[in-house]
């Protein structure tokens, strides 16, 4: 389209309208970013700067929040600290300036690792099951197809607390409570519904003719699925995987009710990071920041497919 036709088109908004709309949207975007930016700034503040009034925008950056996040510390007398010799590493010297010594690592890393294992485990399972089912629903005549699809979707709609009551009892009976395997299975079951619906949309878009051509060339249906459909669906599978990953990463209700130590993920852990005399806000902010960074990256990667993801594949743009 040339600029001349754009100028004459009746549906194209004028330059003034655009600038006006743009500035309002940018204003909203900036306001909406303030809480996020604030929490990320807080992660780099010293505890005194974090709770100062009025809130400080300019401050001397400190890694104390991160140190407090990763370590546990114990208070000691100045004489004892002086007898220790030179501090080992940055965190130790920060702790010593507050009359404390580093006692050991905190639980944040194990919780973060749990989050990683459970999120990736459930994503792989959900996407694998989802791809197979989505292909089945997309290409074959399945009896009660619509009912099965609705049933699959409705499982995702259930209130998590309502599901957690019997799951708690069931896991207690079969010994899956507070295990990573239990959480992986649970998150898989929640994610598989999204995976089926999303992937069905993606697979529906791959022309059947490709497989049929392959099958005329002597491929079986299964070979055609593996060698023709799967490569075509890579983008869809990747997008679905990221959605499942984000859900499992963010989930809180099941995690807080069904895990206590072993399999606890980061979301229930971050709020209970307590320092001396109340919540240690820089440490909480540091934990939050580290936890949110992967999501920010994923959101940017996913931006083209977000709409599909949040409407279970129905709206494709």
CB 57 within 8 A of CB 36: no
Only one of the segments 84-92, 100-108, 231-239, 299-307 lies at the binding site for other proteins (rule: CB under 8 A); that segment is: 299-307
Work out whether 58 is an interface residue with other proteins (CB under 8 A).
no
Provide the minimum distance between the beta carbon of 61 and other proteins in the complex, in angstroms, as a whole number: 18
Q: What is the rounded CA–CA span in Å between residue 230 and residue 172?
A: 39
Work out whether 154 is an interface residue with other proteins (CB under 8 A).
yes
Q: What is the rounded CA–CA span in Å between residue 83 and residue 99?
A: 13
Closer Cβ to other proteins, 117 or 163, answer by number: 163
Q: Judged by CB under 8 A, which of 68, 133, 177, 264 binds other proteins? A: 133
CB 247 within 8 A of CB 194: yes
Q: Which of residues 270-289 bind other proteins (CB under 8 A)?
A: 270-271, 279, 281, 284-285, 288
129 prior amide bond cis, ω within 30? no
Q: Judged by CB under 8 A, which of 92, 130, 203, 305 binds other proteins? A: 130
Which x/- pattern, by CB under 8 A, does the window 70-109 give for other proteins? ----------------------------------------
Q: What is the rounded CA–CA span in Å between residue 311 and residue 259?
A: 30
What is the three-class DSSP state of 104? strand
The encoded tokens of residue 301 equal 């990667």
Only one of the segments 74-82, 97-105, 206-214, 231-239 lies at the binding site for other proteins (rule: CB under 8 A); that segment is: 206-214
Task: Go through 206-215 and write b for each residue having 16 or more CB atoms within 10 A of its CB, e for each that does not.
Answer: beeeebeebe
Q: How many residues bind other proteins (CB under 8 A)?
A: 113
Q: Which of residues 164-183 bind other proteins (CB under 8 A)?
A: 164-170, 172
Provide the minimum distance between the beta carbon of 79 and other proteins in the complex, in angstroms, as a whole number: 34
Work out whether 35 is an interface residue with other proteins (CB under 8 A).
yes
Segment holding 274, helix H or strand E: strand 274-275
Provide the minimum distance between the beta carbon of 169 and other proteins in the complex, in angstroms, as a whole number: 6
Q: Judged by CB under 8 A, which of 132, 181, 230, 238 binds other proteins? A: 132
Closer Cβ to other proteins, 81 or 292, answer by number: 292
Length of the chain: 317
Work out whether 63 is an interface residue with other proteins (CB under 8 A).
no
The encoded tokens of residue 176 equal 């899956």
Only one of the segments 51-59, 64-72, 80-88, 92-100 lies at the binding site for other proteins (rule: CB under 8 A); that segment is: 51-59
Contacts of 283 (CB under 8 A, 6+ apart): 65, 66, 68, 69, 273, 275
Q: What is the rounded CA–CA span in Å between residue 226 and residue 253?
A: 37
Q: Judged by CB under 8 A, which of 95, 101, 237, 246 binds other proteins? A: 246
What angle separates helix 281-302 from helix 234-250, to the nearest 10 degrees? 160
Q: Judged by CB under 8 A, which of 25, 84, 109, 113 binds other proteins? A: 25
The encoded tokens of residue 230 equal 């799967």
């Amino acid at each position: 389209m040339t600029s001349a036709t754009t100028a004459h088109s009746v549906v194209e908004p004028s330059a003034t309208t655009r600038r006006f709309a743009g500035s309002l949207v940018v204003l909203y975007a900036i306001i909406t970013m303030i809480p996020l930016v604030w929490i990320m700034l807080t992660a780099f503040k010293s505890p005194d700067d974090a709770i100062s009034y009025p809130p400080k925008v300019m401050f001397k950056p400190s890694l104390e929040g991160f140190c407090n996040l990763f370590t546990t510390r114990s208070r000691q007398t100045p004489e004892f600290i002086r007898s220790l010799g030179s501090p080992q590493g940055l965190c130790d010297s920060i702790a010593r300036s507050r009359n404390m010594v580093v006692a050991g690592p905190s639980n944040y890393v194990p919780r973060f690792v749990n989050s990683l294992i459970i999120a990736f485990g459930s994503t792989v399972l959900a996407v694998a099951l989802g791809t197979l089912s989505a292909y089945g629903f997309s290409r074959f005549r399945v009896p009660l197809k619509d009912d099965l699809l609705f049933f699959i979707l409705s499982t995702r709609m259930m209130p998590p607390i309502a599901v957690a009551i019997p799951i708690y009892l069931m896991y207690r009976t079969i010994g899956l409570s507070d295990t990573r395997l239990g959480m992986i299975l649970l998150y898989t079951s929640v994610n598989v519904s999204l995976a089926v619906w999303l992937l069905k949309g993606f697979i529906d878009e791959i022309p059947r003719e490709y497989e049929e051509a392959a099958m005329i060339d002597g491929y079986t249906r299964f070979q055609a699925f593996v060698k023709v459909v799967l490569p075509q669906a890579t983008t869809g599978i990747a997008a679905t995987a990221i959605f499942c990953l984000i859900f499992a990463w963010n989930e809180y209700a099941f995690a807080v009710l069904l895990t206590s130590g072993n399999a606890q993920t980061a979301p229930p852990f971050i709020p209970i990071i307590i320092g001396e005399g109340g919540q240690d806000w820089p440490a909480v902010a540091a934990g939050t920041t580290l936890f949110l960074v992967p999501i920010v990256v994923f959101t940017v990667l996913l931006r083209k497919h977000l709409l599909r993801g949040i409407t279970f594949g129905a709206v494709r743009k």
